[in-house]
Amino acid sequence: MAYKFIDNYREKGARKQLVKLLEKRGIQDQRVLAAIGKIPRHYFFDETFWNQAYRDIAFPIGDGQTISQPYTVAYQSELLHVRKGDKILEIGTGSGYQTCVLLELGAEVFTIERQENLYNRTKMVLPYMGYHPNFYYGDGSKGIASSAPYDKIIVTAGAPLVPEIMLKQLKFGGLLVIPVGDEKEQKMVTILRVGENDFERIELDTFRFVPLVGDQAW
C-alpha cells in the first residue's frame, strides 16, 4: 500500500460533511466529533480509494480486516467518556484510526493487534502522522496484564462472550466497551467495574464486527 499525506480542501470538506452526518445520526459528544473532524481518515487508505474515506462505511484494509465505520468509531468513543490522561487499552488496532481518536481525546493508549502485517504497517504509519500509542503484537483477548490496570478498555472486534480476564484488568470505576454476540451481529455492551467482583452491565445497539479471535474469544 502506497501512503501519501496530503490534506486538501476536498478532503477537509468531505470530513466536515462526515461530522455533520455523524451528528445527525445521534453522536453528541463534541470532543469526539472534533477529533473525527481533525483526523485525515484518507491517510488510512491507499490513494486509489481516497474517494471512499469520508463515507460512513467500514472499508477493507487487507488481511481480511476492515477500518471501522466512522459511526461505530464515534459511538464507541462516546461511550468511553474519555478524560485527559485516561489509560486506555484498545484490543484490535487495525488501521489505527480508532487509536488516533482516543489519542486526540487525550488518552494514553495501549493498543494490541494479532495480525502481524497490520501491526507492522500501523506501527510504522501512525508516528508519521504524529500519533504515538504503545503498540503491542499478540492476542488481545487476554488483555495486556503487564500494563494493567486500565481506566477504560475498548474492544474493536466481535466477541462471543466477555473475557473475565479483561474485567480483572479494569481499575475500580473503570469501563469496558465490547461488542458481544454471534458471527452475524453483536450487541454493544458496557461493563463498569464497581468493586472487586461487582460489575454493572448495559446492553445497547446492534453492530456487525469482524470476529475477535484468540484464547478468550472465537
In the complex, minimum distance from the CB of residue 210 to ligand SAM, in angstroms, rounded to a whole number: 5
* Closest CB to ligand SAM among residues 110, 174: 110
Of 194 and 204, CB closest to ligand SAM: 204
Between CA 180 and CA 54 the distance in angstroms is: 27
77 part of the interface to ligand SAM, by CB under 6 A: no
* Continuous segment of H or E residues that includes residue 126: helix 116-129
Contact between 217 and ligand SAM (CB under 6 A)?
yes
- Grid coordinates of 200: 454493572
Q: Does 158 bind ligand SAM (CB under 6 A)?
A: no
Residue 111 binds to ligand SAM (criterion: CB under 6 A) = no
d(CA 190, CA 80): 9
Residue tagged 506501527 (cell numbers): 123
3-21: b (≥16 Cβ within 10 Å) or e: eeeeeeeebeebbeebbee
- Contact between 93 and 119 (Cβ < 8 Å): yes
77 counts as catalytic: no
Residues in the interface with ligand SAM (CB under 6 A) total 27
160 binds ligand SAM (CB under 6 A): no
What distance in Å separates the CA atoms of residue 114 and residue 100, rounded to the nearest whole number?
19
Catalytic residues, by residue number, are 68
Residues lying near ligand SAM in the complex (CB under 6 A): 65-68, 73, 91-92, 94-95, 97-98, 112-115, 118, 139-141, 156-157, 209-210, 212-214, 217
